[in-house]
Amino acid sequence: MANQTRIAIVDDEQDMRQSISQWLALSGFATETYPSAEEALKKITPEFPGVVISDIRMPGMDGMQFLKKLMSADSSLPVIMITGHGDVPMAVEAMQLGAYDFMEKPFNPDRLTDLARRAAQARKLTLDNRALRRELSDGTVLMRKLIGTSPAMERLREDILDLGQADTHVLIDGETGTGKTLVAHALHAVGPRAGKTFAMTSCAALGEDELGAKLFGPVTEGGLPLVEEARGGTLVLEDIEALPLALQARLLTFINDQGTPAETRIVAIHNGSDPEKTLEDSLRPDLFFRLAAMKLVLPPLRNRGEDVLTLFTHFAESFGEEYGATPPQLSAQEAAQLLQAPWPGNVRQLINLGERAVLQQRRGTGSISSLLMSDTQEQGETVQVTTEGKPLKEYVEAFERMLIDNTMRRHRGSIASVMEELSLPRRTLNEKMAKYGLSRSNYL
């Protein structure tokens, strides 16, 4: 099926229910029919992953009452109303109450399909946004996104949990693509401000006047300035090095006026793309020392060892599911190249590489080596490996761990299947799993 979005069809006339259902099913939708609004309400929850099509005139609870019930439960649920010729004024009223659209009988089936498809896309976007908001407010989920077992990542996760509970302002520093925005969300989500507002803006995205108005006001019909919107919660200022001097003074005044402990936490993110200029060069000293009361420096990917292989496997599998393709299996040579690469774009660059690798695999062309070489050429790099060489033993062990981990995951912890695929006796496999900290229980 081209599209398996659910469509709930509510009409007291059986022939109408069946004809709409058959037509939409042929168009690729998963349909479900209900003879009354009362029956439909038993099944349609606020998280209903689809669209509702309802007649207006029905015995018992009519379409208008039904619509009001649906809108009170979830005002963003797309509801398409079906009207008779004399019901157009009611349909207009339904639109005012929140209906997505209406169709007048007799209607063009193709238009109904088009309307259902557009409504389904709107519904998917709504549910995706809700899921994202839930994810960004769930500290456990966010901490799981900080993937890696390197000492640097273990330390980072511990620091986030510690600083999340503190009331002080935090400065997040690190190279581009290391995940600074994700860490800012995690800091908010694991602390006592998790249920409060999380507001964020980039100091480099707007001119001084626009940024000043967005941060400090005045209050307009468009809403509160960010310092008021985030009061009691967290205000994240990305590209803090770009904050104009006049606004630095206003921000310092806001911080000082809050007292101690701070009512609103400021999380400043420094995107230091200019190695010749530090953040202390960009900010007035009194503001710098207030913002940098606590500091998190995110590790560059090239210093995270075999996390590179773990992350590549994770991203490749995710994109494989998204594109319906088999993720590429790294060779020993490719694994060594990933471990040696300088990764100027860090995790963001690795995500892009994982996606392109999956697309290449689907086409049956190209290699990881060619993708890395392409990245190097685009970024004007003359060095294709890190300047610090590593012993061959480290590359071999990293590849071996990745291979066992991937095979265990693919066979869902079946020791016998892993032994057969890797041609390893049980004792050797057990020894290697113990050596690399791999437990069968993690794959069941």
pLDDT in tens, 287-323: 999 999 899 999 999 999 889 999 999 999 999 988 8
Angle between helices 392-410 and 415-422 (to 10 degrees): 130
Q: Mean pLDDT over residues 213-227, rounded?
A: 84
Q: Which pLDDT score, from 0 to 100, does residue 59 have?
A: 93
Q: What is the pLDDT of residue 383?
A: 36
- What is the separation of C-alpha 227 from the centre of its chain, rounded to a whole number of angstroms? 25
Under a CB-based contact definition with an 8 Å cutoff, are residues 141 and 71 in contact?
no
Distance between start and end Cα atoms, the chain: 31
Q: How many CB atoms lie within 10 A of CB 273?
A: 10
Q: Is the pLDDT of residue 389 over 60?
A: no
Report the mean per-residue pLDDT for the chain: 87
Helix (H) or strand (E) holding 370: helix 368-378
Would you state the structure tokens that stand for residue 91, as one six-digit string? 């349909």
pLDDT of 372 reads 81
Percent of the chain scoring above 90 in pLDDT: 50
- Is 105 a residue whose pLDDT tops 50? yes
Residue 146 has pLDDT above 50, yes or no: yes
CA torsion, points 107, 108, 109, 110, in degrees to nearest 10? Answer: -150
Residue 373 has pLDDT above 90, yes or no: no
Q: Read off the pLDDT of residues 44-78 as tens digits, 9 standing for 90 and up.
A: 988 899 999 999 989 999 999 999 999 999 999 99
How crowded is residue 64: how many other Cβ atoms within 10 Å of its Cβ? 21
pLDDT category, 333, cuts 50, 70, 90?
Answer: confident
Predicted local distance difference test score (pLDDT) of residue 179: 94
Structure letter (DSSP) for residue 256: H
User: Which pLDDT does position 131 carry in this prediction?
Assistant: 77
Q: 5 pLDDT band (50/70/90 cuts)?
A: confident
Cβ pair 271, 180 in contact under 8 A = yes
Task: Note the pLDDT of residue 47.
Answer: 87
Mean of pLDDT values over 121-135: 81
Q: Summarize the confidence of residues 401-418 as an average pLDDT.
A: 85
Going along the chain from its start, the domains and CATH numbers come out as: 6-134 (3.40.50.2300), 139-299 (3.40.50.300), 301-381 (1.10.8.60), 391-443 (no CATH)
Average pLDDT over residues 72-101: 86
Residue 2 predicted with pLDDT over 50: no
Query: Quick one: average pLDDT of 12-30?
Result: 92
**Confidence check: pLDDT of 123 > 50:** yes
pLDDT computed for residue 376 by the predictor? 62
pLDDT digits (tens, 9 = 90+) for 157-204: 999 999 988 888 999 999 999 999 999 999 998 888 888 999 999 999
The model's confidence at residue 99, banded by pLDDT at 50, 70 and 90, is very high
Per-residue pLDDT averaged across 411-434, rounded? 87
CB 242 within 8 A of CB 207: no
pLDDT of 384 strictly over 50: no
Rounded mean pLDDT of 391-415?
79
pLDDT value at residue 382: 41
Backbone angles phi, psi at 204, to 5 degrees: -100, -10
Is 23 a residue whose pLDDT tops 70? yes
More confident residue, 234 or 83: 234
b/e burial code for range 137-176 (CB count within 10 A of at least 16 → b) = ebbeebbeebbbebeebeebbebbeebbebeebbbbbbbe
pLDDT digits (tens, 9 = 90+) for 255-293: 999 888 888 999 999 987 666 778 888 999 999 999 998
Q: Residue 380: is its pLDDT beyond 80?
A: no
Residue pair 105/82 in contact (Cβ under 8 Å)? The answer is yes
Q: What would you report as the CA-atom Rg of the chain, rounded to the nearest whole angstrom?
A: 28
Q: How far lies 14's CA from each of 8, 11, 34, 40, in Å?
A: 14, 7, 9, 15
Give the DSSP letter string of 61-118: S-HHHHHHHHHHH-TTS-EEEEE-GGGHHHHHHHHHHT-SEEEESS--HHHHHHHHHH
The pLDDT-based confidence of 345 (bands split at 50, 70, 90) is very high
